[in-house]
Amino acid sequence: MLRPNAMKARLAAGERLVGMWVQSGSPVAAEIAARAGFDVVLIDLEHGHGDLDQLVHMIRAVQTTPATAMVRVPGKDPFILGRVLDAGAEAVLVPLVEDAREAARVAAFCRYPPRGVRGYAWPVIRQSGYGLYPERFARADEELVVAVQIETRGAVAEAAAIAALADIDLVFLGPMDLAGSLGHPGDPAHREVTQLIRTVEREVLDSGTPLGTIPRPDADAATLFARGYRFVVAASDVVLLATGARQIREQLQPALGGGNGA
């Protein structure tokens, strides 16, 4: 359902925002994240377990709160982007964008003509209240955050050009995939990786375009905000459940005795 985009307004005002991944595909987890006070709930369709049918319910759950419903799409397909936006996503995060040309194409897929090439179905989609709010169409392009991920060596070289695009609202640095693309999988603190991260930080921050990322071993959320990042996704529902479950099980082990039963 189209409403004023709090994420976009707050980024424009220079505020810092904290997000949480929802990778379980659960509307309950999405609602909990939103009600816990996270500014943005980032529903992950790239590596998460949800699908387009569950997505609508997750977006609905988030939109019962002031939090913004953001979706990481599973690629750059214009029809997937269109369906995600039709479902009511207020922000999209597009992975593995390699250069400014590709970023511009992604932005065009997300906006209606003449600004873009998004297919028109306003009278029947959830974003318009299933056609009950025709007057809101005039705001559809503006009430949207389009974010792209930089996560390869080639994309780093294009960081300044990507950040300069008027229709890209946020550049998101993916340190884990960047590390893998450089031959250092699982090691985003490797010197070669951190050097390229610094390049992205310099190029994007100099452009004035908001920069986002996730915490990594050499930089927690507070450190990232201090460096100028404006959006940090600081938690994951799957990680919280997995680590919490393991901790409880380990705490109970002395009372159980013997093996761990695995």
Tens-digit pLDDT profile for residues 134-189: 999 999 999 999 999 999 999 999 999 999 999 999 999 999 999 999 999 999 99
Tens-digit pLDDT profile for residues 36-59: 999 999 999 999 998 999 999 999
**Those residues with Cβ within 8 angstroms of residue 209's Cβ, 6 or more apart along the chain or in another chain:** 163, 164, 168, 169, 170, 171
The residue from 47, 49, 57, 190 that is catalytic is: 47
Check residue 157 and give its pLDDT.
97
The DSSP H or E segment spanning 233 is strand 231-236
- The answer to whether the pTM exceeds 0.85 is yes
DSSP state of 215: -
57 as an active site residue: the answer is: no
Tens-digit pLDDT profile for residues 55-94: 999 999 999 999 999 999 999 999 999 999 999 999 999 9
What percentage of the chain carries pLDDT values higher than 90? 95
For the residues of 20-48, what is the DSSP string, one character each?
Answer: EEE-S--HHHHHHHHHTT-SEEEEESSSS
Maximum distance among all alpha carbons in the chain? 68
Strand partners, 44: 72
What domains, with CATH codes, occur in the chain?
Answer: 6-237 (3.20.20.60)
For the residues of 82-111, what is the DSSP string, one character each?
Answer: HHHHHTT-SEEEE----SHHHHHHHHHHTS
Tens-digit pLDDT profile for residues 184-233: 999 999 999 999 999 999 999 999 999 999 999 999 999 999 999 999 99
Check residue 258 and give its pLDDT.
65
Check residue 55 and give its pLDDT.
97
Phi and psi at residue 69, to the nearest 5°: -90, 110
Check residue 2 and give its pLDDT.
86
How many angstroms separate the Cα of 168 from the Cα of each of 29, 146, 162, 219? Answer: 29, 6, 8, 25
Residues 70, 107: Cα–Cα separation, whole Å:
15
Check residue 261 and give its pLDDT.
52
**Once rounded to an integer, what is the mean pLDDT over residues 241-252?**
96
pLDDT band at residue 262, thresholds of 50, 70 and 90? low
